[in-house]
Amino acid sequence: MILVTTAGKVGAEAARLLARRMEPVRLLVRNPQKATASTQPGVELVLGDLNARETIDAAMQGVSGVILVSPADPAHEIDVIDSAVRAGVSHIVKVTSKASADSPIARRRDQAAIEDRLIASGLGHTLLRNNAYMQNFLMLAPAIRKTSSFGSAAGDGRIGMIDSRDVAAVAAEIAASPASHTGKTYWPSGPAGLTYAEAAEELSKALGRTIDYRPLSFEEQKQDMIDAGLPAHIAQMNTQAVSLFARGDSDWVTDDVPSILGRPAGTFRQFVMDHSAVFA
């Protein structure tokens, strides 16, 4: 049995893919109404909350592998790791980012603390240090729909953006067959680096109307995120990450997705086509 720890973009898709290949899979959800729509028969939904240790322990019964994905609160993820040790789990796939103990971004320091704890646990593990998700553009969709433009503090930085569905596919593949991936760190990315101006061109082509990109200052970007409903501390971390794009921080591409999945990574063009109704 493979436990997937949350039912967000990556977790729900990973659970769906595991069920499709007939792997026993359990998805921890705190809001089953949201999760049901994104899963399919074969996914066992278990009601829980990463804030409540007893629900993690209950979900961990009979589990051999875990896909550890969440908003990366160290208290939550470390509880999952400790629970997995107690339950005799053999392997954890950890969805992470450019983790670093001395990063200016709190989330990356948190990811580093979780990674350290996972490594110290002695459990078999694989780290997926993913590049930025294409799905971050879905947060810009309301502005694109309303104004045919979007702003960002990403400057002219090139980003090896990955479709989060590929992150899910890589996590599912490794969870189903961990042997050759144990102890490894991967850096999954999309197939090519893209600037936000180039992303605007792709959106224009797919939507049949001009979509403009407006460079924003740090403060303008942060305010935009707060106006879109993000809590201030999340807006701060996300704005820091976007501002680092401008300095080339995410200008990297690897062949981890094709080498693990045996097919090319999804393109930004495909991502936009698949979500055109959201942007139109």
Ligand X SMILES: NC(=O)c1ccc[n+]([C@@H]2O[C@H](COP(=O)([O-])OP(=O)(O)OC[C@H]3O[C@@H](n4cnc5c(N)ncnc54)[C@H](OP(=O)(O)O)[C@@H]3O)[C@@H](O)[C@H]2O)c1
Q: Which listed residue (2, 3, 4, 8) binds ligand X by CB under 6 A?
A: 8
Query: Is there a contact between 169 and 131 (Cβ–Cβ < 8 Å)?
Result: no
- Residue 28's SS3 state is strand
Q: Which listed residue (20, 21, 31, 263) binds ligand X by CB under 6 A?
A: 31
Site string for ligand X, 54-73 (x = CB under 6 A): ---------------xxxx-
Residue 19 or 131: the one with the smaller Cβ distance to ligand X is 131
Q: Which listed residue (32, 40, 51, 205) binds ligand X by CB under 6 A?
A: 51
Within 239-268, the residues that bind ligand X by CB under 6 A are none
Q: Take residue 263 and report the two structure tokens written for it.
A: 């097919």
Strands (DSSP E) contained in 13-90 are 25-29, 43-47, 65-68
Q: How many residues bind ligand X (CB under 6 A)?
A: 25
DSSP 79-130: HHHHHHHHHT--EEEEEE-S--TT-SSHHHHHHHHHHHHHHHHT-EEEEEE-
Residue nearest to ligand X (CB): 8
Within 163-202, the residues that bind ligand X by CB under 6 A are 164
CA 213 – CA 224 distance, rounded (Å): 14
Count CB atoms within 10 A of the CB of residue 166.
28
Does residue 152 touch ligand X according to CB under 6 A?
A: no
Q: Which residues bind ligand X (CB under 6 A)?
A: 6-11, 30-31, 34, 49-51, 69-72, 76, 95, 97, 107, 130, 132-133, 136, 164
